[in-house]
Amino acid sequence: MLKKIVIITVSIAATAYLLLALFYLNTPPASPKCKGLEINISDDGTQVLSSKSIEQYLKSKGFRFKDTPMEKISSIEIEKALKKISIIEECECYKTHKDLISISISCKKPLIHVFDQTGEYYLDEKGNRIKSIESAIYLPVASGEIKNEETVRGLIKIAQYLEDDRFWREQTEQIHVTPRQEIVLVPRIGNHLIELGKADNIEEKLSKLKEFYEKGLNKIGWNKYNRLNIEFDKQVICTKQD
């Protein structure tokens, strides 16, 4: 009788062991939990975007990171959300072996600050609109009626020229677009306006005007004229103050 009881007990124990072993073998290991974010931003040193703002933005969109199981965090969905930020050129998100969510971001380069009939925005060198930037950086300001792509390309050409030419960068206060889509520059020194016309031959036009500044206005005075037209080749057409 005792032998029979022992056999039954051993059988029950063996069965229980096999069931437990089978259960644990078929139970997937628990997903590791996220230890945090790792954000790298490339923006040419202009600091137009910060890691803190990226983290706050993702949290506002419902993403949770620290102590969240890694399997519940979607790198693809994070990339989709970040690509909606207008300043971001490219982004890549992946999970590291250290259980971190790593995000690499490259930013568009703001080239000109625009105020027009549609509102306020920035343009990069490709003509892409950027809604806002975080840091206060010096950029040429454009205003007026910017109605077509040709005018946008012209503004970008002027902004690129100003970026490379220190004299005109410091002398130009504003770029204005007329209803006829012609460009007028508002200088910092002098009470005149510079009528550039279309944004072609910019270097030749402004070099000609700089020479006129040096040989003409320095002698007769910077407030003698209210308009200087440099639209036409090898000419500076001056309009006197009333």
- Helices and strands (DSSP H and E) totals, the chain: 7, 12
Q: Could you read off the pLDDT of 36-59 as tens digits, one per residue? A: 999 999 877 677 888 999 999 999
Identify whether residues 96 and 216 lie together within a single domain.
Answer: no
The pLDDT assigned to 137 comes to 82
Residue among 135, 142, 112, 171 at smallest CA distance from 45 = 135
Write down which residue in 83, 107, 131 finishes a domain.
107
- pLDDT band (50, 70, 90) for residue 141: very high
The pLDDT assigned to 5 comes to 56
Determine the structural domain holding residue 80 and report its residue range: 37-107
The pLDDT assigned to 182 comes to 94
- Determine contact, residues 145/177, Cβ cutoff 8 Å: yes
> Reduced to 3 states, what is the DSSP secondary structure of residue 61?
coil
CA angle 93, 95, 100 (to 5 degrees): 105
- pLDDT band (50, 70, 90) for residue 74: very high
Instruction: Read off the tokens for 90.
Output: 């490219």
What is the identity of the amino acid at 3? K
Residue 239 has pLDDT above 90, yes or no: no
Tally the domains of the chain. Answer: 2
Spatial distance between the Cα atoms of 25 and 153, rounded to a whole number of angstroms: 64
Instruction: Read off the tokens for 172.
Output: 């130009």
The pLDDT assigned to 112 comes to 94
Q: Could you read off the pLDDT of 156-207 as tens digits, one per residue? A: 999 999 999 999 999 999 999 999 999 999 999 888 999 999 999 999 999 9
Spatial distance between the Cα atoms of 3 and 216, rounded to a whole number of angstroms: 123
Residue 6 has pLDDT above 50, yes or no: no
Percent of the chain clearing pLDDT 90 (strictly above): 65
Spatial distance between the Cα atoms of 215 and 213, rounded to a whole number of angstroms: 6
On whether residue 18 sits in a domain, the answer given is no
Q: Could you read off the pLDDT of 154-167 as tens digits, one per residue? A: 999 999 999 999 99
What is the identity of the amino acid at 179? P
Q: What is the mean pLDDT of the chain?
A: 86
Phi, psi (deg, nearest 5) at residue 106: -115, 140
Write down which residue in 92, 107, 122 finishes a domain.
107
On whether residue 12 sits in a domain, the answer given is no
Identify whether residues 162 and 211 lie together within a single domain.
Answer: yes
Identify whether residues 131 and 178 lie together within a single domain.
Answer: yes
Q: How far apart are the first and last CA of the chain?
A: 128
CA angle 92, 98, 103 (to 5 degrees): 15
Burial of 29 (0-12, 13-18, 19+ CB in 10 A): exposed
Residue 28 has pLDDT above 60, yes or no: no
Identify whether residues 115 and 235 lie together within a single domain.
Answer: yes
Residue among 89, 84, 83 at smallest CA distance from 110 = 89
- pLDDT band (50, 70, 90) for residue 10: very low
Residue 129 has pLDDT above 50, yes or no: yes
